[in-house]
Amino acid sequence: MKMGKLDAPDTHYVSGAEGWLELGDFESALAELDLVSENCREYFDVQQVRWHIHNRMEDWETCLVISLRMIESNPEMPQGWINHGNGLFYMRRYQEAYDALAPVFKRFPHDEAIPYNLACYKCQSGDLDAAREWLERALKVGDSKRVGKMAATDPDLMPLWKTGVTIN
């Protein structure tokens, strides 16, 4: 997988796939990605869109395969790691998701999505103290107002709020 720059018409196919994804037509979205030049299909951005399509299809196994390819080809990009953790999370493999993503926080300490997702993983696995700690890290790393607003309505964090926990 490469980080290459896409040119027309491939950029149009990727945009088309994103449009079909937004409309909920996953088959058309995947068909649009199949139009991308063969030498560009493994580009990171193309695989990211492909991951999101399979995510919306709830095809978690394929999400894991795509995310592992993203990690293997571009380990310096946090999104592959995040996608992998989320794929495991959606399969309710919370501890595996945590174990896959937690070590990555040291590599990407300024990416708020990592501690935020770790908070969700811990919350869903029942470790509310760890969930609170990870959420506090996400608030410190990112825009605290935006992260706090997102967290307040995130169903994955509801067990935390039901205990009356407040975040500093």
Q: For residue range 28-71, list pLDDT tens digits in order.
A: 999 999 999 999 999 999 999 999 999 999 999 999 999 999 99
Secondary structure (DSSP) of the chain: ---PPP-TTHHHHHHHHHHHHHHT-HHHHHHHHTTS-GGGTTSHHHHHHHHHHHHHTT-HHHHHHHHHHHHHH-TT-HHHHHHHHHHHHHTT-HHHHHHHHGGGGGT-TT-THHHHHHHHHHHHHT-HHHHHHHHHHHHHHS-HHHHHHHHHH-GGGHHHHHTT----
pTM: 0.92
126-153 confidence digits (pLDDT tens)? 999 999 999 999 999 999 999 999 999 9
Determine the average pLDDT of the residues in 91-116. 98
